[in-house]
């Protein structure tokens, strides 16, 4: 395997790094879950999206689903999570990692009585902020609107 073609062609480098502190307030909060937009599709030129998601005790999470346009990776920072690996729900704890290629069935949830924190990486980047921020409105949508919301955000649920 070889490296991809250069995307930066200068000879001296540039000052373009961006630091996000751990204690910065979340970008969005809903139902006891906080979302930290560490790197978005916009800030990475579409390369990837990286989000820290802090889930309250017994805070739940999405059931089995898949994406057609992107892979999704999960790294458990703290606590314990239940992860669906396409076959079954498995226990995952701090330091565990789950990679899901496009089309791979997966899900995650915090069923424990303790908070949990995970990193979620989408590649290539997608505007997941709109998905996260749209979740509170699902209850007010018709079935057709809800279906279109999920399709528009590349979420396909397993029945």
pTM confidence score: 0.94
Q: Spell out the domains of the chain, with CATH numbers in brackets.
A: 28-135 (2.60.120.10)
100-151 pLDDT tens trace = 999 999 999 999 999 999 999 999 999 999 999 999 999 999 999 999 999 9
Q: Which structure tokens are listed for 34?
A: 């906080």
Residues 80, 118 contacting (CB under 8 angstroms): no
Residues 6+ apart with CB under 8 A from 104: 66, 71, 72, 86
Taking the C-alpha atoms of residue 123 and residue 67, their distance in angstroms, rounded to an integer, is 11
Is residue 159 predicted with pLDDT exceeding 90?
no
């Amino acid at each position: 395997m070889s490296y991809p073609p250069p995307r930066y062609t200068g000879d001296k480098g540039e000052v373009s790094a961006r630091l996000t502190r751990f204690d910065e307030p979340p970008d969005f909060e809903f139902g006891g879950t906080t979302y930290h937009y560490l790197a978005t599709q916009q800030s990475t030129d579409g390369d990837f999206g990286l989000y820290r998601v802090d889930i309250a005790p017994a805070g739940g999470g999405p059931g089995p689903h898949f994406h057609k346009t992107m892979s999704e990776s999960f790294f458990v920072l703290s606590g314990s999570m239940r992860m669906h690996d396409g076959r079954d729900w498995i226990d995952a704890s701090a330091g565990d990692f789950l990679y899901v290629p496009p089309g791979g069935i997966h899900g995650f949830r915090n069923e424990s009585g303790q908070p949990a924190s995970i990193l979620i990486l989408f590649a290539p980047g997608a505007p997941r902020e709109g998905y996260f921020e749209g979740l509170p409105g699902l209850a007010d949508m018709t079935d057709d609107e809800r279906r279109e919301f999920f399709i528009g955000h590349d979420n396909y649920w397993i029945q």
